[in-house]
Amino acid sequence: MSASPSPQRGVVLVADDDPVMRLLMLEMLQQVGLDGIEAEDGRLALQLARERRPDLILMDVEMPHLDGFAACRAIRRGDGPGASVPIVMVTGGDDIEAVTSAYEAGATDFVSKPINWPILGHRVLYVLRASDAIARLRIADAQNRAVLAAIPDTFFRMNRDGFYLDYEPGRGFPSRERDGAVPFTSERCVGRHITEVLPREIAARVMEQLSEVLRTQQIRSLEYELLRFGAAQHFEARLVATSPSEVLGLVRDISERKRSEEQIRRLAYCDSLTGIPNRQAFLETLERELQRSKVGNKKFAVLFMDLDAFKRINDTLGHNVGDHLLKIVSERLRETIRPSDLVSRSEALPDEAGTIEPATSATNLARLGGDEFTILIPDLERVEHALNVAHRVKEAMRRPFLIDGNEIFVTASIGISLFPEDGDDCNSLLKFADTAMYHAKNCGKNNAKLYSSSLTMQIMSHVKLEVGLRKALQNDELYLLYQPQLDVRSLEIVGVEALVRWRHPERGIISPTEFIPLAEETGLIVPIGEWVLRTACDQARAWQRALHRSVRMAVNLSAKQFKDENLSQIVLSALDETGLDPKLLELELTEGTLMDDAKATLATLEQLRRIGVHLSIDDFGTGYSSMNYLKRFDVRALKIDRSFICGLPQDSENAAITRAIIAMAHGLKMAVVAEGVETDEQLILLEQYGCDLVQGYFLGHPSSADVITDMLGRLPMMLPAP
Ligand code: C2E
Ligand code: MG
Ligand code: MG
């Protein structure tokens, strides 16, 4: 088979027993630039066809030895190049039978006698060209088949109406029936319409792409999933137009790729510690929810939860316990949101692929990192609904966590942002929920707060307040009040607690609960604390001089101050400058401050002990502390938090707690101060419990130094009769 048109002149074998005919034929061929060789009978024709490999054979039907048909058949039978040489039979007149026999014998074409001599040469040229084209096609076809056989894909041809014209299953595609599933084979597909072979929905998608391919003449691909042989198999079909009305399709089994993609997806979207979705997954869920809510005109909420004091648990009990805690927290969160209406509402959320996800709310929960968790509440009808969820979450965290024999108590602070009220993009919504969470923490932890425009206003005023606070010291806007502490047995005022106030030029008196956290955040607490300390020491020393009596001065220290490496230096110079006896100064710390970093704490406490000042634990019972630590810290007194006292005497639970704290403190040789005593009944009860000191509105509000001077000058107060 000569594929390319030969650069030299073509050679035609002329087989005819009539020498005149041969002569004329050779002449005509010469005219159109072809060379000829002659054979005078069929046998010679066969021999020359094999030996000389002509480009075409003109074969007479009737010849001695071997007639034209037999010679033709013999040439075709061989498997050499001769098998495809074009053979033009020269038949008699209108001998239809001869024509039919010629084709049956494998002839390419025929010319009938009498021969139209002028056009014979052209006819031969035409057949040569056609056969050349066919030869080239055959090569291309063979090459295509070789390529297709080398790739693992299935390929098919399909016409514009969706009928398979050809179907060749790829290597690796199942070829035998298994588990009741019939494999796709050529017999099953060719001649059939696609809807008879593939499920309707997939067939429709293929047809849609097919008409696009025919319209644009560009390659298109689609992926689909089939449940085959008991498992979901994924396929990718690529369609390419081969003519205006036909496409070639290549189908590849991409199940393996899908499996690894799914694995990667799982790794990339799953928090490895807790197994719940991670930040990335949450952001994507949020983005989908945002689009869905925008289209459907719906509302949703983002809850941002952060455990209070998680760092302390990590530091004191170790990271293993911390990790364990996070796992249980995520389980509780999952349980908390499962039975709610979140589940049923998120049921019908379609995923990216457009398929309906099974009912689960797990995707609405995520761990962003550390001890931060987020929950998405879709289809929010009322804000209260989000607050209810926050409440349930808080309640779920309140139950003690039992880890390695430790009973751990944690609380959570929660911030909530709302779509569309608070923002209309994911980042803002997440940021605002985070801001609201910080706000919740500032409001005393274990709290849930909504981010609302009013919160923004608050932040604005926060900024203004900060600017003001920076000037407060220079402008003499800070001053101290003192609240008396009474010895329950002698009924004498033995000490006072210094409480700072800010007289704001526009806003009036501002409470320390508002500006101390701000001072802490900005670091202003250090100069403010130093001023408080010196002023308080100065006042105590003044009373000592004027009244000839020792009044113990309690000064609050915030965590930031306690961590300040110059603390002992500041305390020393306040004492030095004022000449106050260190024994008369008591520093109040909260449990949280002490437990934050036990090692550093011990070093600081040792320095303070050496100076000779006393320590007490403020707001005792609201934080987290271990008795062992308190023993080591050499604490003089525990101040029972106001929240335990305020319900007394009716609240039997708080009464029991108060009694227990007093007994325990006495066991450790510590004194007990009850804060927030507002009634005589409370005072009597505390006296019965053996409480040492009391402080509260019943005995005196925080007051100016002058008022306290008067009180100190008076006789011990009388305890009301029980
Ligand atoms: P704290 O040290 O626990 O102070 C006791 C708070 O309870 C004071 O609030 C006091 O006015 C209030 N209080 C006293 N008796 C009663 C009562 O019978 N009933 C009620 N309902 N409340 C009572 P204040 O003065 O607003 O101080 C709040 C907190 O601010 C203090 O809590 C303390 O933690 C902090 N603070 C106050 N002054 C300073 C300071 O100079 N430096 C630092 N670092 N913190 C301070
Ligand atoms: Mg205090
Ligand atoms: Mg207190």
> What CATH number does the domain containing 101 carry?
3.40.50.2300
532 lines ligand 1 (CB under 6 A): yes
Q: Which ligand 1 atom is the nearest neighbour of the CA of 499?
A: 38
| 279 and 166 share one domain | no
Give distance in angstroms: CA of 693 to centre of ligand 3: 13
Ligand number with the minimum distance to the CA of 621: 3
Q: What is the CATH number of the domain that holds 341?
A: 3.30.70.270
| 536 and 397 share one domain | no
In a domain, 261, yes or no: no
Q: What is the CATH number of the domain that holds 555?
A: 3.20.20.450
Q: Which ligand 1 atom is the nearest neighbour of the CA of 519?
A: 44
In a domain, 417, yes or no: yes
Q: In sequence order, which residues have a C-beta less than 8 Å from that of residue 691 and are 6 or more positions away?
A: 488, 640, 658, 662, 672, 673, 674
Whose Cα sits closest to atom 37 in ligand 1? 499
Residue 7: the pLDDT is 46
Residue 506: the pLDDT is 87
Q: Which ligand 1 atom is the nearest neighbour of the CA of 675?
A: 15
| 289 and 333 share one domain | yes
In a domain, 722, yes or no: no
On whether the CB atoms of residues 462 and 455 are closer than 8 A, the answer is no
User: Which domain, by its residues, includes 645?
Assistant: 462-712
| 417 and 502 share one domain | no
Q: What is the CATH number of the domain that holds 196?
A: 3.30.450.20
On whether the CB atoms of residues 677 and 645 are closer than 8 A, the answer is yes
Pick out the chain residues at pLDDT < 50. Answer: 1-7, 339-360, 721-722
Beta-carbon-side half-sphere exposure of residue 631 (alpha carbons within 13 Å): 7
Ligand number with the minimum distance to the CA of 593: 1
Residue 441: the pLDDT is 87
In a domain, 22, yes or no: yes
Pocket test for ligand 1, best of 442, 497, 499 (most atoms within 8 A of CB): 499
Pocket test for ligand 1, best of 483, 500, 502, 556 (most atoms within 8 A of CB): 556
708 lines ligand 1 (CB under 6 A): no
Residue 186: the pLDDT is 86
Q: How far apart are CA 486 and CA 587, in angstroms?
A: 17
Q: Which of 88, 118, 147 is the last residue of a domain?
A: 147
Residue 295: the pLDDT is 92
Residue 637: the pLDDT is 94
On whether the CB atoms of residues 611 and 568 are closer than 8 A, the answer is yes
CB atoms within 10 A of CB 181: 15
| 496 and 433 share one domain | no
CB atoms within 10 A of CB 592: 18
Angle between helices 567-578 and 598-611 (to 10 degrees): 20
Cis peptide before 114 (omega within 30 of 0): yes
Q: Residue 668: what residue type?
A: L
| 156 and 139 share one domain | no
Ligand number with the minimum distance to the CA of 639: 3
| 612 and 529 share one domain | yes
82 lines ligand 1 (CB under 6 A): no
| 120 and 171 share one domain | no
CA-to-CA separations, 362 to 256, 335, 342, 366, 451, in angstroms, rounded? 27, 10, 10, 8, 24
Whose Cα sits closest to atom 46 in ligand 1? 556
- Supply the pTM of this predicted model: 0.48
Whose Cα sits closest to atom 7 in ligand 1? 676
Whose Cα sits closest to atom 2 in ligand 1? 556
Which of 255, 364, 253 lies closest to 301, judged by CA? 364
In a domain, 403, yes or no: yes
**Distance between the two ends of the chain, CA-based, in angstroms?**
126
516 lines ligand 1 (CB under 6 A): yes
| 158 and 83 share one domain | no
Give distance in angstroms: CA of 641 to centre of ligand 3: 6
The residue ranges of DSSP E strands in 101-243, in sequence order, are 109-112, 154-159, 164-168, 220-228, 231-243
Q: In sequence order, which residues have a C-beta less than 8 Å from that of residue 240 and are 6 or more positions away?
A: 213, 219, 247, 248, 249, 250
Ligand number with the minimum distance to the CA of 485: 1
| 519 and 654 share one domain | yes
Q: Which of 451, 480, 499 is the last residue of a domain?
A: 451
Number of domains in the chain: 4
592 lines ligand 1 (CB under 6 A): no
| 425 and 527 share one domain | no
- H-state helical runs in 301-340: 310-317, 319-337
Residues with Cβ–ion distance below 5 A, ligand 2 = 556, 588, 618
Beta-carbon-side half-sphere exposure of residue 409 (alpha carbons within 13 Å): 8
Whose Cα sits closest to atom 41 in ligand 1? 500
Residues with Cβ–ion distance below 5 A, ligand 3 = 618-619, 675
Q: How far apart are CA 306 and CA 446, in angstroms?
A: 10
In a domain, 231, yes or no: yes
> What are the structure tokens assigned to 201, written together?
């929905």
Q: Which of 206, 226, 253 is the last residue of a domain?
A: 253
| 130 and 224 share one domain | no
In a domain, 263, yes or no: no
In a domain, 646, yes or no: yes
